[in-house]
Amino acid sequence: MQLDLKTLNVILANLEYPDQTLLRFVEEQALNTPIKDNSYGDGIMGESDVTAKIYEIIAQPGIFVKITYSTDSYGDNSMPTGVQFVQPAKQLVTVYESI
């Protein structure tokens, strides 16, 4: 994997709103969803919502960036909290269905 520093700097410069000319959105994953304590959807104080967005680097097919976002303790104000360069890994999942 060879990723030039100029491209890397542009990717890392704005993690909140990634550059769509360099990154193609692939999927969003819910990593932690807080318990909602009322019908307004407000979370319990102290629990944050954690999600990850996966982007493919257009100039480097097969190389992906995973940006992790967390909310504040009220479940509002999402902000980037981590970034990783990743690659897909397929896993076998067994599902049991009724007979």
- pLDDT single digits (tens) 26-82: 999 988 766 565 556 555 566 668 889 999 999 888 889 999 998 877 767 888 999
Is beta strand 50-57 parallel, antiparallel or unpaired with respect to 64-70? antiparallel
Query: Can you say whether the dihedral through the CA atoms of 22, 28, 29, 33 is positive or negative?
Result: positive
Short-list 40, 38, 41, 33, CA closest to 71: 33
Task: Give 93's pLDDT tier (boundaries 50, 70, 90).
Answer: confident
- The per-residue pLDDT for 90 is 87
pLDDT for 47: 65
